[in-house]
Amino acid sequence: MRKSYRIKRENEFQHVFEDGESVANRNFVVYHLHRDQPHFRVGISVGKKVHLRAVVRNRVKRYIRQSLLELRPELDPQADFIVIARKSAKDLDMAGTKKNLVHVLTLAGLLRDHIEIV
């Protein structure tokens, strides 16, 4: 994702945590905040509780980024959100990651017109 689509600075993360709302499922927690902007911004957090090895944490982040890239046309452009991976996310493959992200983003009201194709 391009830099304009990312939340990187600590104060931006804190703003979404403090002023936003959260929803969760077994694998992910999403904090979201609606703002007036041309496109969404996302922050991804995969802590050492998920797995001590960086290679595993980086794989989880890659899966999250790719899933969000595929869902980009359906995401609410007025939102800033943070995706936090839970420990069980390390066991998911790409399809499982996308399915769980669709579920939690739908709960958050950030997806519009998503149709699951089986």
**pLDDT attached to residue 118:** 45
Please report which confidence band the pLDDT of residue 4 belongs to, taking 50, 70 and 90 as the band edges: confident
Token pair, residue 106, equals: 């739908």
Evaluate whether the domain defined by 3-108 bears CATH number 3.30.230.10.
yes
41-45: strand order across its sheet: 21-24, 28-34, 79-85, 41-45
Q: What is the reported pTM?
A: 0.90
Cα–Cα dist 65/5, whole Å? 11
Q: Which two tokens stand for residue 74?
A: 């359906």
* Token representation of residue 31: 């904090």
Domain-wise residue ranges, the chain: 3-108
Phi, psi of 82 (to 5 degrees): -120, 130
Question: Cα–Cα distance between 69 and 51 in angstroms, integer?
Answer: 24
102 has a pLDDT exceeding 50? yes
Q: Is residue 117 predicted with pLDDT exceeding 80?
A: no
The rounded distance, in Å, linking the Cα atoms of 19 and 113 is 26
pLDDT for the residue numbered 110: 94
- Host H or E run for residue 97: helix 94-108
- Per-residue pLDDT band for 99 (boundaries 50, 70, 90) equals very high
Amino acid, single-letter form, for residue 79: A
Tens digit of each residue's pLDDT (9 = 90 or more) over 5-64: 899 899 999 999 999 999 999 999 999 999 888 899 999 999 999 999 999 999 999 999
